[in-house]
Amino acid sequence: MSFPTHRPRRLRQSPAVRRLARENHLVPSQLVLPAFVREGIDEPRPITSMPGQRQHTLDSLRRAAADAAEAGIGGIMLFGVPAVRDAVGSGADDPDGILNVATAAVAEEVGDALVVQTDLCLDEFTDHGHCGVLAGDGSVDNDATLERYAAMGVAQARAGAQLLGLSGMMDGQVEAVREALDDAGFSETLILAYSAKYAGAFYGPFREAVDSQLSGDRRTYQMDPANAREGVREALLDVEEGADVVMVKPALPYLDVLADVRAAVDVPVWAYQVSGEYSMIEAAAQNGWIDRRAAITESLLGIRRAGADAILTYWAVEAAGWLREAL
């Protein structure tokens, strides 16, 4: 009988050997927690399509940020849900707007322990739900939107944001915000460009989380799910314009794009494990169809393996606890 010459199974024979041979590792500092704060509520409001997640009050957001810092994760990304919206998203750059007030509160609470991050987009603040200012024909006016993004970026930096997450997918948004920040004296404020953000089907629960007013879709500015090379092009353009970090969103359906972007750029590359990814695993686990902890851990490792230097995930704090247990 002929026996195998090569025996890769030797590297899998025990937990200790598997740990030693592991190619990719995940640590709490690579995780970022997205968090929602809603104006005008007295207590946290559960998000029904995202079990375990909630819209925070300012007080509960402070506590969530403190818990995140204690867990040792890398940062917290803030999304604001205003009580009043208008066509140009006036609340986005209002110093008294919910997102800017919340940013100041979180920066005061945990500014030295976490990277305080803010979503820079108009969709939560507009009464039409689009990520920019609308032209007369109902389309999104790219260049008029850039002016709003510039004002929003300065307002967020002034409120205490250390990193701005440019998620609107407008052409030239990184350059416009970078110039505005530098002119206003915020040259140290980081820019995260959502470079390859796809117009896919995995954002549904997020729409509830931010009480989206959107009708129609965002396919004229977010990317076509069929395109991979275009994602790399977008990332290269954003780096050229001054992005400190680039992002692929969603994560699991676009691991090929994530890997390609990681190979193409020399700045950190992040990925956003979006609401639909979260809710699918939670729903399957609630039905007893999968092992919840194992599925969460495997999904995060898959994103890391594809090249993400950090991951935005709603499981950030919980997963950090598991990672500490494994040490």
Domains and CATH numbers, the chain: 26-325 (3.20.20.70)
Residue 77 has pLDDT above 80, yes or no: yes
pLDDT band at 256 (very low <50, low <70, confident <90, very high): very high
**Of 148, 197, 218, 262, which one is the catalytic site residue?**
197
User: pTM for the full model?
Assistant: 0.96
Distance between CA 60 and CA 54 in Å, rounded? 10
Q: What is the mean pLDDT of residues 163-168?
A: 97
The DSSP element (H or E) to which 258 belongs, if any, is: helix 255-264
The DSSP element (H or E) to which 299 belongs, if any, is: helix 292-306
Residue 115 has pLDDT above 80, yes or no: yes
The per-residue pLDDT of the chain, averaged, comes to 96
Residue 120 has pLDDT above 90, yes or no: yes
**Of 38, 178, 249, 304, which one is the catalytic site residue?**
249
DSSP string covering 149-192: HHHHHHHHHHHT-SEEEE-S--TTHHHHHHHHHHHTT-TT-EEE
pLDDT band at 125 (very low <50, low <70, confident <90, very high): very high
Share of the chain above pLDDT 90, in %: 92
Q: Residues 6 or more apart from 277 whose CB is under 8 A from it?
A: 202, 250, 251, 252, 299
Q: What is the mean pLDDT of residues 182-191?
A: 98
Please give the biggest Cα pair distance in the chain: 79
For position 247, what pLDDT does the model report?
Answer: 98
For position 215, what pLDDT does the model report?
Answer: 78
Residue 26 has pLDDT above 80, yes or no: yes
For position 221, what pLDDT does the model report?
Answer: 92
Q: Is 249 a catalytic residue?
A: yes
For position 326, what pLDDT does the model report?
Answer: 81
For position 217, what pLDDT does the model report?
Answer: 87
Q: Are 174 and 239 in contact (CB under 8 A)?
A: no
The DSSP element (H or E) to which 21 belongs, if any, is: helix 15-21
Which tokens go with 76? 């917290």
Q: Is 197 a catalytic residue?
A: yes
Distance between CA 109 and CA 65 in Å, rounded? 7
Residue 3 has pLDDT above 90, yes or no: no
pLDDT band at 89 (very low <50, low <70, confident <90, very high): very high
Residue 79 DSSP symbol: E
Distance between CA 297 and CA 315 in Å, rounded? 10
pLDDT band at 327 (very low <50, low <70, confident <90, very high): confident
Residue 11 has pLDDT above 90, yes or no: yes
Where residue 79 falls (left for φ over 0; alpha for ψ -120 to 50; beta otherwise) is: beta
For position 242, what pLDDT does the model report?
Answer: 98
